[in-house]
Amino acid sequence: MDLEIRHLRIVHAVAEAGSVTKAATRLGLAQPSLTAQLKRIERSLGGPLFERDRNGARPTPLGEMVLSRARVLLPAVRDLQEDAVRFANTSVKLPGYRIGATNGPILGGLVERLTADQPGIPVTTRTSWSAGELTALAVAGRLDFVLLGTCGDSPPPPAEAMNWTTVGTDPVFVLLSEDHPLAGEKELELSSLADEHWTVAPGDGCFADCFAAACARAGFVPESIYETDVGTCLHLVGVGKAVALCQATFRLTAGLVMMPLAGAPLRWRHLLGWHADSIGARAAAPVVAAHARAAYADAVRRSARYADWLVTNPEYGAVP
């Protein structure tokens, strides 16, 4: 016989009542029926759970062990049932949206859309260069959703019970100063930038390795690389001291041009993640994902260079 929750309720009732007869009355059962059930439970657990005499029923050491577990499990099952009923009979909503994001084009539009769609629900954000840090915060229950990017088909940071959906996939373009000799080209071979200095923002994924591999395939090793914040990267590109890789949805600033790389040697996937154990996040995920994809589509439309490129490369862009 497999042990069931109802069996634990019987053991607990006998211990609380102090006798099988009193427990039978509380449970609304005939005393012989309860006695027979208790004997079956004891056989399934390997020994007597109570010492019974004319003074009542007292737990044996085995009974004490079973009762200690039952006193944990029974309230947990009751809470589970109550939560399930509430979940089934109410529209589950998060008390607010806590969103973490690495550098990308989606967060601003997502916040704009969520606050317009649900003006009474607060939205808070947290940014970091570390996708691993943000994912860990979601696992710990300190973030509801995470927006991050991965290079090509590489997976997101390893974490237990995280759900991920792809929002869109971009080619990686290159940023040049508008005075750069190659700024007027339609697209660039990566090898044409072999003599350039590069500047990049920090990250904890495999993008640096992917970039090095792409350069090796193009026949060169990149010159010195300046790893720094985004503002400094843009300054170095603008004054002609470096070139930079960027997402094709990057919003250009004055003095810069964005150029496609022939053959799209590097790709970037935008991902939205949430923890599987968060009931509220699971319920809200379809809404948040829809807003994230709409925000991403807006970012694509703002980039005329990228929108033009997509006409001949329809396998990139938003995920339906």
Q: How many Cβ atoms sit within 10 Å of the Cβ of residue 207?
A: 20
Angle at 121 between CA 118 and CA 123, to 5 degrees: 105
Q: Provide the token pair at 203.
A: 């990250």
What SS3 state is found at 234?
A: helix
Overall pTM surpassing 0.75 (yes/no): no
Would you give the DSSP letter of residue 261?
A: B
* Contact criterion met (CB below 8 Å) for 277 and 163: no
CB neighbourhood size of 164 (10 A): 17
The DSSP secondary-structure symbol of 243 reads B
CA-based nearest residue to 175, from 151, 152, 193: 193
In tens digits, what is the pLDDT along the chain, a chain of 320 residues?
788 888 999 999 999 999 998 988 888 888 888 899 899 999 999 999 999 888 889 999 999 999 999 998 988 888 777 766 655 554 555 678 999 999 899 999 999 999 999 888 899 999 999 999 999 999 999 999 999 999 988 899 888 889 999 999 999 999 999 999 999 899 999 999 999 999 998 888 888 889 999 999 999 999 889 999 999 999 999 999 999 999 999 988 899 999 999 999 999 999 999 998 887 787 788 889 999 999 999 999 999 899 999 999 999 988 76
